[in-house]
A and B are shown apart, each in its own frame.
Chain A
Amino acid sequence: MNAPTTQIPATARHPMVELTLARLRIFFREPGAVFWTFGFPLVLAIALGIAFRNRPPEPVRVAVESPRLLDALAPSTGVQPRLYDDAAARLALRTGKVDLIVLDGTPITYRFDPTRPESRLARALTDAALHPRGKPDTLDAPVTEPGSRYIDFLIPGLIGMTIMSSGLWGIGYVVVEMRVGKLLKRLVATPMSRPQFLLSFVMMRAFFLLLELPILLGSGFFLFRVGVAGSLPLLVAVSLLGAIAFAGVGLLVASRAQNLQTAAGLVNLVMMPMFVASGVFFSTARFPESVQPFLRALPLTALNDAMRAVMIDGAGVRGIASEILVLALTAAISFAAALRLFRWR
């Protein structure tokens, strides 16, 4: 009993402070959780950024069977001709080594699979190279400007997705673990305020967001030159609102589950539709007009749309008012419902 006895303050801190501190400590002492929250989105952004980086157009590969055609196509930059004999050319086409076979004669014959888009492209390019009709009267404008590349679309979506998944996993899993270990029951045996307990999870998520956001925005900027066209404070505010909304959804998902399997199933059930349909990897515009109102009501759609509006289009508060409303309603309704439904034992 010779331990120092002076370090502990005699007065107790506010329970909200202690609850939030406990959440943060438990999180940061779990290396796996730290990676999934901070590291994984970063890895994903880098991998997707590399996979979808803007490249110069690749020339189409074409098989020819006469030296005359080889010479005729050689100057063309968009077509890469190679000389094959007949059998080798057919094999190359079948195995996808070339997209098109050009047979000399009058007229010239193109052999290709019309269901393969790259073959149709190869046919068009080759035809243009062999039959120049003067200068083309259109001009191709290649798209490489920041703001309209895939990575510009992707980064806001990844931020939205991260906010959703860390809200649902980070809260849903932890809450159910506490229920399984009867810690929830033990806590409600004290005078602890139940709303404060639930609120401590929202606080935790808000705090983490302020760490996650610079990592994601920073890597987007330094690796891919993805900037923020609009107001940075507005972007922070929108993502904070998103984090709070998904913290509420996380609490709701975890409010009754009695074991970790059920919790994991529920989390996936809630997240999967939004992964696909809320415009993380591709625009929601690809879905039919009839389902658009439902998609717009999804919190992740609202968050992604608002993030893109601020980051890409430089929208102000008014431009994203409906998205803000969806997120605020999600937060309020899910938190109130979680408080009502929550099973403490």
Chain B
Amino acid sequence: MDTQSAALRCEKLVKKYGELTAVDGLDLEVRRGECFGLLGPNGAGKTTTVEILEGLSDPTAGSVEVLGMRWDRDPRALRQQLGISLQETHLPDKLTVEETLRLFRSFFERGRPIDEVLGMVELHDKRKTWTTKLSGGQKQRLAVACALVSDPELLFLDEPTTGLDPQSRRQLWDVVLGFKARGRSVLLTTHYMDEAERLCDRVAIVDKGRVIRLGTPRELIASLGGQQVVELATEQPLRPEDLAALPGVHGARPDGDGIALTVSELHLSLPAVLDRVEALGLTRLSTHHATLEDVFVTLTGRHLRE
């Protein structure tokens, strides 16, 4: 195995379903040992992209190289080295956690002992429990465990925490961070900002089948020009342009019924903003640290949840 190459690389990836173009010339490179996030709203083409990279569907055009191998040449060797968790998989209801893992383990030539995997996902005390009796978070950890039994070089996670409660999400993040700490690579898709910021070394923001911005979460947030976001609304009409020139303000955009500003120095901008809007009747004001959500909205004018 070529250890110098990227864990994963794809160039000019295109996938068309009839008239619909789901993936529209997408380039990606995931480095060895990195956790890479594909971030975008539903329908952005994340899952289609990931399934092409996983060798589950063929691209209309473009090239894919995974762990230095290609799906058309070494499908068997590739399958042995990948761990894959699909967006939603209904594992057999009436197999126990242990039986399910043993089944998946049997498909691989090499792998980790089931006991270790149970420990990684903290399902030791559920080993004799039927899948149907697990909670949503436990089921999702079992699904990830099925991807870990082969001790993969590269782990694919497609929206691993969608629909989970906050505690289950954090437990799953710990599983991913533990996997990454062993020097392995991860490609995950998510539409949760906090997940990408927490887990990913680098993030590609995907919209309409293309990568529209790429960088570390910190870089992407810094690209806004300011680290803080001020959101406000007034009784009297107010345009973003009216605030854009105030000190410390790097960007201003409409946001729902009000305006969102990106600012670098809150202590300079806030008094100026308050002064400017005083006569207009302030109805709402809040500030927060800039997130990837703000990056996405700034780039596309839409929220990720839309």
Q: Which residues of chain A have a CB within 8 Å of any CB of chain B? A: 1, 3, 5, 8, 10, 12-15, 17-19, 21-22, 25-26, 29-30, 180-183, 185-192, 345
Contacts and interface: CB of A to CB of B under 8 A. Distances in A.
Interface string B138-150: 0000000010001
The 10 A-B residue pairs with the shortest CB-CB distance, nearest first, are A181-B90, A191-B79, A29-B94, A18-B106, A15-B106, A189-B84, A190-B107, A186-B89, A192-B107, A3-B124
A22 B96 CA distance: 10
Contact of A186 (B86, B114, B125): B86
Contact of B86 (A3, A21, A30, A189): A189
Contact of B99 (A25, A186, A191): A25
Given A22-B99, A191-B108, A192-B107, A8 B114 contact: yes
A191 B82 CA distance: 9
Contacts of B153: none
Contact of A190 (B108, B114, B125): B108
Interface in B64-105: 76, 79-80, 82, 84, 86, 88-95, 98-99, 102-105
Contacts of B54: 189
- Max count, chain B CB within 10 A of own CB: residue among A15, A181, A190, A345: A190
A182 B90 contact: yes
A183 B79 contact: no
A191 B80 contact: yes
Contact of B127 (A3, A29, A191): A3
B183 interface: no
B119 interface: yes
29 contacts: A3-B125, A3-B127, A5-B124, A8-B98, A8-B113, A8-B114, A12-B102, A12-B105, A12-B106, A21-B99, A21-B103, A22-B103, A25-B95, A26-B92, A26-B95, A182-B86, A182-B88, A182-B90, A183-B89, A185-B56, A185-B86, A188-B56, A189-B79, A189-B82, A190-B79, A190-B150, A191-B107, A192-B107, A345-B56
Contact of A1 (B89, B105, B119): B119
Interface string B39-54: 0000000000000001
Contacts of A1: 119, 122, 124-125
Contacts of A30: 94
B111 interface: yes
B179 to A, nearest CB: 17
A183 B91 contact: yes
B115 interface: yes
Contacts of B115: 5, 8
A110 B106 CA distance: 81
A3 B91 CA distance: 24
B153 to A, nearest CB: 14
A21 to B, nearest CB: 8
Given A26-B94, A191-B79, A181 B89 contact: yes
Given A3-B125, A26-B95, A14 B106 contact: yes
Contacts of A186: 84, 86, 89, 91, 146
Given A12-B106, A18-B103, A191 B76 contact: yes
B84 A13 contact: no
Contacts of B113: 8, 10
Contacts of A189: 54-56, 79, 82, 84, 86
Contacts of B91: 183, 186
